Structure 1
Amino acid sequence: MPRDTLTREQIIEAAIGLLDEEGLEGLNMRSLGKRLGSAATAVYWHVQSKDNLVVLASDEVWTEIELPDLDTVDWHTAASTMAGDLFAMFTRHPWLVMAFASQPLYGPNKARHDDHSLAVYEKAGFVGAEVDQATAAVFMYVLGNAVGMAAEVSVNRKLSRHGGNSQTRIEEAMTHATEIAARFPRLRSRTEAFADSDYAAAPEKSFEFGLQAVLSGLTDRLGSR
């Protein structure tokens, strides 16, 4: 695709697809140009650098998160909806979780989301610095839950690239981890109780349980004033 017919929007869309498939380590201008049917130099002309492209791609996926109408729903419902959508977005785009640790990420779509998050906790009754603290507490809870999932995707991808049966190697690693866990009483009882699961696996609906615990804690904090 010639440079004058290639658009930044096309590049960003293709970059998100490549990132979803290959992760941050798989994103390069040559592979992206091939996907677009264009020269790598044409891609550079539109986005300047790989780091800038990651910023643009990351900002685009923030549009996937619903911003509830605060005139029609209570703050708790709005916070739950946004946190659930955020976790789902991280699940669809695990590279974004890893990108947070590698470079600053910003843009109008993320800013719009962040501004709406502040409005949610202002509606709850938080004031001043507490608004930012409440927003950060929920965001970091969601991000923390997504880290493990993103790391698993990254490990699977690396194992696949190095050849061999990645699933077999993962199972061998988890078997070894379970053997180590058996030395400790609480971990041993857990693996015995859940024989079909490794000791590191979270129980079903752990994310929802933790999120409601965080929001309940914020509600209690409001009520203790």
Structure 2
Amino acid sequence: MPRDTLTREQIVQTAIQLLDEEGLDGLNMRGLGKRLGAVATAVYWHVKNKDDLIVLAADQVWGEIELPDLATVDWRSAATRMATGLHAMFSRHPWLVQAFGSYLFYGEGKARYDEHCLAVYEAGGFDDAAADRAAATVFTFVLGNVLGTSAMVSLTRRLSRNGKNAEEAIADTMTKATEVAMRFPRLRARLDAPIATEYAGAPEQTFEYGLRVLLDGLEAERAASATPAAERV
């Protein structure tokens, strides 16, 4: 495809597909050009370099998150939807979670999400500083919660590229980890339970539980700060 028929939108969308399939290490301009039916130099007419392309791709996927209408839902419901949507987006694009350690992200897609987050907490009665803290705390919780899934995707790809059977290698490691865990009474009790999860596996509904508890805490703090000191005595 000649450079004059390529568009930045085509390049970014194809880059997202490649990142979803191959991860950060699998993205390079030559491979991207091949997918687009163009030479790599044609891609450079639209994006500066790989780093620029990753930032553009990241900002595009931020736009996938649905922003709830604050005129129709309460702030708790809105905050839950936003956090759940963010978690789902990170799960669809695990490369973005990995990229947070190496890239500074910005753009209209991310700004749109951040702006609405602040509006959600302001609607809940949080002042400017409290809204900033609440939004940042929930974001950090979501990012940390999805980190394990992202790391597993990255590990599986790395093992496969090194010629190993990723499934067998992970299973072997988990067996060894379980043997070590069995030496510790609390871990052993859970592993011996009738309905035991594999060692290091998160219990069901961990994300939902953690988000609910986190929002409970934020709401309680907001209510306490709004109560006059005399009434708190």
Q: TM-score, normalised by structure 1?
A: 0.97
Q: Distance in 2 between matches of 1:224 and 1:197?
A: 39
Q: Distance in 2 between matches of 1:137 and 1:164?
A: 38
Whether contact under 8 Å (2:190, 2:196) holds in the other structure is: no
Q: Distance in 2 between matches of 1:14 and 1:111?
A: 23
1:128, CA displacement in angstroms? 2.5
1:6 paired residue number: 6
**SS at structure 2 position matched to 1:64:** coil
**SS at structure 2 position matched to 1:214:** helix
2:229 paired residue number: none
Question: RMSD over aligned Cα, in angstroms?
Answer: 1.1
Q: Distance in 2 between matches of 1:60 and 1:179?
A: 44
1:197, CA displacement in angstroms? 2.8
Q: Distance in 2 between matches of 1:179 and 1:194?
A: 18
Whether contact under 8 Å (2:191, 2:199) holds in the other structure is: yes
Letter in 1 for 2:143: L
How many residues are matched?
A: 225
1:48 aligned onto 2:44 = no
Letter in 2 for 1:165: N
1:131, CA displacement in angstroms? 1.0
Q: Show structure 1 runs of 4+ deviating over 4 A.
A: none
2:209 paired residue number: 209
Letter in 1 for 2:13: E
Whether contact under 8 Å (2:33, 2:43) holds in the other structure is: yes
1:28 paired residue number: 28
Whether contact under 8 Å (2:118, 2:132) holds in the other structure is: yes
Letter in 1 for 2:220: D
Letter in 1 for 2:187: L
2:114 paired residue number: 114
**SS at structure 2 position matched to 1:199:** coil
Letter in 1 for 2:202: A
Correspondences of 1:183-198 after superposition (within 5 Å) = 183-193=183-193, 197-198=197-198
Q: Distance in 2 between matches of 1:8 and 1:82?
A: 28
Q: Distance in 1 between matches of 2:104 and 2:195?
A: 42
1:104 paired residue number: 104
Correspondences of 1:128-139 after superposition (within 5 Å) = 128-139=128-139
Letter in 2 for 1:73: V
Q: Distance in 2 between matches of 1:38 and 1:127?
A: 51
Q: TM-score, normalised by structure 2?
A: 0.94
Q: Could you tell me the percent identity over the aligned residues?
A: 61
1:196, CA displacement in angstroms? 5.6
Letter in 1 for 2:62: W
1:199 paired residue number: 199
Superposed CA deviations along residues 150-190 of structure 1, whole A, max 9, x for unmatched, are 00000011111111321111100111111111122111111
Change (3 A) 1:157 1:6: same
Q: Distance in 1 between matches of 2:27 and 2:75?
A: 38
2:148 paired residue number: 148
Q: Which runs of no fewer than 5 residues in structure 1 stay unpaired?
A: none
Superposed CA deviations along residues 181-207 of structure 1, whole A, max 9, x for unmatched, are 112211111111266632200111110
Superposed CA deviations along residues 8-49 of structure 1, whole A, max 9, x for unmatched, are 000000000000001011110000001101001111111111
**SS at structure 2 position matched to 1:224:** helix
1:161 paired residue number: 161
Decide which moves more: 178-187 or 136-145: 178-187
Change (3 A) 1:195 1:159: farther
Correspondences of 1:56-135 after superposition (within 5 Å) = 56-135=56-135
